[in-house]
A = this chain, B = another copy of it.
Amino acid sequence: MADDAPGPIRMRGAGYYSEHTTGAKLAIDAAIPLVLAALQRMDLAASATPFGIADYGAADGGTSIALHHTLLAALRARTERAITLTYTDLPHNDFSALFRLLHGLLPGRAALGLADVPGLFTFASGTSFHRQIFPDGTISLGFSATAMHWLSRLPAMLAEHVHAVGAEGGDLAAFRAQAAADWETILLARAHELSVGGRLVFANFCTDANGHYLGWTGGQNMHATFAKHWRGLRDAGAITGEEMRRATFPQFYRTVAEFRAPFDDPGSPVSRAGLRLEECFTRVTKCPYAERFAAGQPGAEFARTYVPTLRSWSETVFSSALDQGRPEAERQDIVDRFYAAYEADVAAAPEGHGMDYVHCFMVIAKDPTAGV
């Protein structure tokens, strides 16, 4: 595992992530009809073994818990089979927050617990989705949202930007190749895990037909703003060029063509493993913070609520890019200055800022005639 776990991709723990990522939950809620429709197409009586559900890259579980409540109710209406629900994420994830949610122990969120669902058994895995997580044929329904843009390794460090959306030339090619290789690895691992007739429902960050992606749908570009303020710290001498380069997200927002490629080629390893694409479309989920500003919220207040949602998932990329020889307080100060500059930027000219989510929704089936 150690070799394929990218360094700086921990999330802040204890429910911080899902509380500050309202938009992520809205996007997941949009996947509920896809999950229910996929379930309708499945033969639930086909096996005496448990119905295995996986939630890949689930963080603290908060953004998908409503989906699972709906899914479990639909399942229980049709079958008395035992159900397993396994949440996966990297080892550093806050699994205790996840289990406290599942067991109704989070203050104020006890009703979200799943302990009263009859015949349901919940688990966690600390294995990366870049590897096989479950034994062959033990997953009936795999779900994943807003997770698979994380690459298994960082293929290039960018000198003037912080994200592959700003990469060019050889750097961009390296990111693109890594994303393609990872996508095939991810799908082949899932092909092993999935039972025949099982389904995968994914809502992954993407680049859509308009060239839009997370944080850029025509207004201010979020990643360009990150890059501007990180470069600003470098140009002011607060961080080194090496610290500039190290702050590169190990992420890639695949295009629809890139997501489709393994399915469109009947001879690809993924097609030969029996996976078939049933649905594929993109969708923009508007930034709830920007919508509040558009509805009349003062710009300073928008900035004060919006920037923490960026910080929730981006902070460790910047803080771990800093030389670990710097005292902890100094590193904290640099990161605080960075987000303060971003917030001041938004407060001064809020128009166009926002983090619209751009997702590619996919439903994938394991063909009953497949050999695996």
> Could you list which residues of chain A lie within 8 angstroms of chain B, going by C-beta atoms?
1-2, 5, 49-50, 82, 84, 86, 91-96, 98-100, 102-105, 110, 113, 115, 119, 121-127, 132-136, 138
Contact = CB atoms under 8 A, between A and B. Distances in A.
B127 A125 contact: no
A205 B367 CA distance: 51
Given A5-B103, A98-B126, A102-B126, 4 more contacts: A1-B103, A2-B110, A84-B135, A95-B124
A138 B50 contact: yes
A134 B132 CA distance: 21
B121 A127 contact: yes
A135 B82 contact: yes
Contacts of A49: 49
Nearest to A10: B96
B122 A127 contact: yes
Contacts of A82: 135-136
User: Main secondary structure on chain A at its contact with chain B?
Assistant: loop
B95 A99 contact: yes
Contacts of A105: 1-2, 5, 91
Given A2-B104, A102-B126, A135 B96 contact: no
Contacts of A136: 82
A96 B91 contact: yes
Please name the 10 residue pairs, one residue from A and one from B, whose CB atoms are nearest each other, closest first: A99-B126, A1-B103, A82-B135, A91-B99, A95-B95, A1-B115, A50-B135, A91-B100, A123-B123, A124-B124
Contacts of A115: 1-2
A276 B119 CA distance: 26
A122 B121 contact: no
A100 B92 CA distance: 7
A43 to B, nearest CB: 19
A103 B226 CA distance: 32
The interface centre, meaning the residue of A92, A95, A96, A102 with most chain B CB atoms within 10 A of its CB, is A96
Given A123-B123, A124-B95, A125-B124, A104 B135 contact: no
Nearest to A98: B126
A122 B123 contact: no
A98 B99 CA distance: 14
A123 B125 CA distance: 5
Nearest to A84: B135
The interface centre, meaning the residue of A95, A113, A122, A134 with most chain B CB atoms within 10 A of its CB, is A95
A188 to B, nearest CB: 16
Nearest to A50: B135
A84 to B, nearest CB: 7
Given A50-B135, A82-B136, A95-B95, A122 B126 contact: yes
A347 to B, nearest CB: 35
A127 B100 CA distance: 10
A3 to B, nearest CB: 9
A126 to B, nearest CB: 3
Given A103-B127, A127-B103, A92 B96 contact: yes
